[in-house]
Amino acid sequence: MKTKALLVSLAIILIFTGADADRVLAQKLVAQKKESSLKKEFAQLHKELRKVTTLISHKKYDEAEKKLDDVQRRLEKYIVKTDLARSHKGIEAIEKLIALKRQTIEKLKDPKGYKEKQNRVSFVKHVAPILNRHCVKCHSDDPQGKLHLESYAEMKKGGESGPLLIAGNASRSLIMARLLAPEADRMPRKSPALSRLEIATLALWINQGAKFDGEDEEQELDEILKPKEDLPPLKYARATGNEKVSFKKDIAPFMVKYCQRCHQGKKPGGGLYLTSYETLMRGGNKGAEIIPGHPEKSRLYQLMGSRDESMRMPLEGKVYRKNYDDVYTWISEGARYDGEDPRTPLRALNPTKSQMLAAELKSLTPEQFVKYRKEKSGLQWKKAFPDVEPVFLETEELFLYGSVSEDRLKKLEKWSGKQIERLRKLFAPDQEKRLWKGKLAVFVLADHESFEQFNKVVRQRRIENNSVGTFVVTETQGDAFVVLEDIGDRSNVEAPALQMNFIIQTTNAYIATLDAAFPEWFTLGVGLALSASEAPRKDPYLQELRYDAIDSLEELENPSDVFNDGAFFSAEKTLPVGFTLSEFLLKKGGEKKLSAFIHAIEQGGEVGNSLRVVYGVDLKPIAQAYFASFGKIRRPKK
């Protein structure tokens, strides 16, 4: 009996051992077949990429780009089909080749544009790490001055002291003033100051337009900087169009409003990120939150309807019955996605108010924009001075509002004709359309108290005591106005006369409409240089700036450095140099050469090369002549 039982056991072992061997063999054959398929597919993709190289060598850039798009699409389909991770060596090699060839095409098609792009400061790569390292600690939960810096969107809003950024103008941006303030007022407080390189990086980013190059302006810096996980592509069901509930229109908006406050950033609740459809479907620490087709088994739905208030989601605020029912229906219908890319941030699926306004403004005809500007400017006046009826005049380019006399406003109207003509000649000689979309609003105020009131109420920003002129031009030109305090027709050492002030601010307001990387000294100084032609030879305001320029220039060891952004550590040091340098170039080459320099920069030219081409000499002799132009000018001893 024992022998028989042993034989039976042995037979069973042999049967199962044979089955295992067959299974191992089958798995090995499948792996070999898969590897063979991979090699074949990668070889074919490399063959297609060699065709791209040939097209590039024959300068057929458009065809080469189309071929690269085809290769990219084919690769994406293969990744989804095979569930391969992007970290696979073969895929990494092909994606690297695609990127390099796109870079080569971009460089050959538009060398100037490519160079400008390479010199661009990135918010994601360069600015976010600085802010996260130095600022977020004190400017997140209940921050001082109600200034939140956890995201680009919060940064744009500013705090109690007003907007933090003036795109295109670092010297007038509050963040730079705070970072460069004396020790007692400097930010970050009770911490080391930012390095010179970090300061220069932030300033250059602002001067280049303070643009956001990430996926979602609302995304917290921690999340932007978090290393991307190498996860296999998400398999999901696409919407058919027959669903009763849309993820984009019905689910995403309430998740952004009620759920993201706890489910994004460094430590999302339960390890669940609710920043995109993909992160929702991947789930959190406890696994899947959504079981398509089964709302009653889906943890997210269960928690939304929990009778235990300590467990019910969201913890803060509440969702409405419609939201609860929509989630039920959406999951029942298969939790389908009706967007294009499941990685798209939820906030981006539905446009914000500012995005909708931008789209609305873009659709306006020139005359509709004029109507929009007139209505908005009138409302801005009423907001600042509800009980004061303004004096009002209109020109082809301007809306003039004032608390000054009608004769005074008419005088400004007369000056405006020459200034507008000069701006056209310098910046836009061939432009027939208006310099500003919908015209520029100019608010002229009779006293400093009114000037402060308008800036506080409309601009929501406090001003320095000696400031008598400001401007605002937003990227969409939804706002385009200047605010002037009328101190009369004579300057003093602290403030310019009204005509000069008008020239300075309207020049600044026009430069703000241009998408060009002008050097900071030019942006700050050219309006002042233009105003000098309408001022007495020894105007006290301009003369004081000339003395300040001499003080600033003493910091430089190499005269040619005067043309470089970051040569001076603050806007206060840069502004007088910008004025005198712009004035020098205007005197030496006239408006014709200054205009040529402007257009060279607008076309992506580097500052040094543009000056060499336009003025016909190297930087060193230009800088030496500029320094020599001060002669024996020195500040009088008090």
- 610 with 546, same domain: the answer is yes
User: Using CA atoms, how far apart are residues 599 and 581, in angstroms rounded to an integer?
Assistant: 18
User: Could you tell me which of 73, 76, 53, 205 has the C-alpha nearest to residue 129?
Assistant: 205
User: Is residue 26 domain-resident?
Assistant: no
Q: Which ranges in 135-195 belong to alpha helices (H)?
A: 152-157, 174-179
pLDDT of residue 22: 56
**Strand partners of residue 345:** 276
DSSP string of 214-270, one letter each residue: SS-TTSBHHHHHSPPP--PPPP-PBP-S--SS-IIIIIHHHHHHHTTTTSSSSS-GG
Q: Confirm if 505 and 482 have CB atoms less than 8 A apart.
A: yes
pLDDT, average across residues 48-61: 89
- 355 with 480, same domain: the answer is yes
Q: With the C-alpha atoms ordered 297, 303, 309, 310, is the resulting torsion angle positive or negative?
A: positive
User: Is residue 493 domain-resident?
Assistant: no
- 271 with 360, same domain: the answer is no
What backbone phi and psi angles, to 5 degrees, belong to 569?
Answer: -80, -10
User: Using CA atoms, how far apart are residues 279 and 273, in angstroms rounded to an integer?
Assistant: 6
Give 188's contacts (C-beta < 8 A, 6+ positions apart): 134, 135, 137, 138, 194
User: Using CA atoms, how far apart are residues 22 and 398, in angstroms rounded to an integer?
Assistant: 86
- Band (pLDDT 50/70/90 cuts) for residue 263 is confident
Q: With the C-alpha atoms ordered 536, 538, 544, 548, is the resulting torsion angle positive or negative?
A: positive
3-class state of residue 495 by DSSP = strand
User: Could you tell me which of 501, 519, 635 has the C-alpha nearest to residue 581?
Assistant: 519
pLDDT of residue 26: 55
- Band (pLDDT 50/70/90 cuts) for residue 77 is confident
Residue 562 has pLDDT above 70, yes or no: yes
Q: Tell me whether the omega of the peptide bond preceding residue 386 falls within 30 degrees of 0, making it cis.
A: no
- 535 with 636, same domain: the answer is yes
User: Using CA atoms, how far apart are residues 159 and 165, in angstroms rounded to an integer?
Assistant: 11
Percent of the chain scoring above 70 in pLDDT: 91
pLDDT, average across residues 166-184: 82
- 367 with 474, same domain: the answer is yes
- 432 with 520, same domain: the answer is no
3-class state of residue 284 by DSSP = strand
Q: Confirm if 143 and 150 have CB atoms less than 8 A apart.
A: no
pLDDT, average across residues 200-224: 85
pLDDT, average across residues 259-267: 78
User: Is residue 403 domain-resident?
Assistant: yes
Give 491's contacts (C-beta < 8 A, 6+ positions apart): 497, 500, 535, 539, 540, 541, 542
Residue 14 has pLDDT above 50, yes or no: no
User: Could you tell me which of 318, 322, 338 has the C-alpha nearest to residue 249?
Assistant: 338
- Band (pLDDT 50/70/90 cuts) for residue 173 is confident
User: Could you tell me which of 293, 275, 295 has the C-alpha nearest to residue 284?
Assistant: 275
| Among the ranges given (7-16, 267-276, 450-459, 627-636), the one the predictor scored with the smallest mean pLDDT | 7-16
User: Is residue 381 domain-resident?
Assistant: yes
Domains in the chain, number: 5
Residue of higher predicted confidence among 255 and 11: 255
User: Is residue 97 domain-resident?
Assistant: yes
**Strand partners of residue 159:** 162
- 457 with 479, same domain: the answer is yes
Q: Which ranges in 58-158 belong to alpha helices (H)?
A: 61-82, 89-109, 111-118, 128-134, 152-157
- 559 with 476, same domain: the answer is no
Residue 242 has pLDDT above 70, yes or no: yes
Q: Which of 109, 140, 166 is the C-terminal boundary of a domain? A: 109
Most confident of 150-164, 202-216, 541-555, 601-615: 541-555
Tokens 């269960």 found at? 302
Percent of the chain scoring above 90 in pLDDT: 42
Tokens 């004061």 found at? 388
Q: Which of 165, 199, 219 is the C-terminal boundary of a domain? A: 219
- Segment 295-317, tens digit of pLDDT: 999 999 998 888 777 777 887 66
User: Using CA atoms, how far apart are residues 268 and 260, in angstroms rounded to an integer?
Assistant: 9
* C-alpha Rg value of the chain to the nearest Å: 32
Give the chain's mean pLDDT.
86
User: Is residue 574 domain-resident?
Assistant: yes
- 175 with 286, same domain: the answer is no
Q: Confirm if 576 and 173 have CB atoms less than 8 A apart.
A: no
Structure tokens at 571: 């806007």
Tokens 């004769």 found at? 407
3-class state of residue 87 by DSSP = coil
Q: Which of 109, 137, 156 is the C-terminal boundary of a domain? A: 109
- 465 with 389, same domain: the answer is yes
User: Using CA atoms, how far apart are residues 94 and 38, in angstroms rounded to an integer?
Assistant: 13
Residue 368 has pLDDT above 80, yes or no: yes
Spell 477-505 as b/e; 16+ CB within 10 A means b: bbbbbbbbbbbeeebeeebbbbbbbbbbb
| Among the ranges given (74-88, 332-346, 352-366, 537-551), the one the predictor scored with the smallest mean pLDDT | 74-88
- Segment 460-493, tens digit of pLDDT: 877 776 899 999 998 899 999 999 999 999 999 9
Residue of higher predicted confidence among 18 and 627: 627
Q: Confirm if 520 and 205 have CB atoms less than 8 A apart.
A: no
Q: Tell me whether the omega of the peptide bond preceding residue 232 falls within 30 degrees of 0, making it cis.
A: no
pLDDT of residue 21: 56
pLDDT of residue 10: 47
User: Is residue 129 domain-resident?
Assistant: yes
The residue segments making up the domain with residue 380 are 351-487
- Segment 583-606, tens digit of pLDDT: 999 999 999 999 999 998 888 788
Residue 11 has pLDDT above 60, yes or no: no
3-class state of residue 320 by DSSP = coil
Give the Cα-Cα-Cα angle 518, 590, 209 (nearest 5 degrees): 10
pLDDT of residue 5: 55
Q: With the C-alpha atoms ordered 368, 369, 374, 378, is the resulting torsion angle positive or negative?
A: positive
- 335 with 259, same domain: the answer is yes
User: Is residue 1 domain-resident?
Assistant: no
- 526 with 615, same domain: the answer is yes
Residue of higher predicted confidence among 556 and 331: 331
pLDDT of residue 13: 47
Question: CATH number of the domain that 406 lies in?
Answer: 3.40.30
pLDDT, average across residues 15-39: 61
pLDDT of residue 317: 65
User: Using CA atoms, how far apart are residues 472 and 45, in angstroms rounded to an integer?
Assistant: 52
Q: What CA dihedral angle connects 29, 32, 37 and 39, to 10 degrees?
A: -170
- Band (pLDDT 50/70/90 cuts) for residue 16 is very low
Q: How far, CA to CA in Å, does 637 sit from each of 87, 207, 263, 491, 547?
A: 70, 36, 63, 21, 12
DSSP 433: S
DSSP string of 339-361, one letter each residue: SS-TTSBHHHHS--HHHHHHHHH
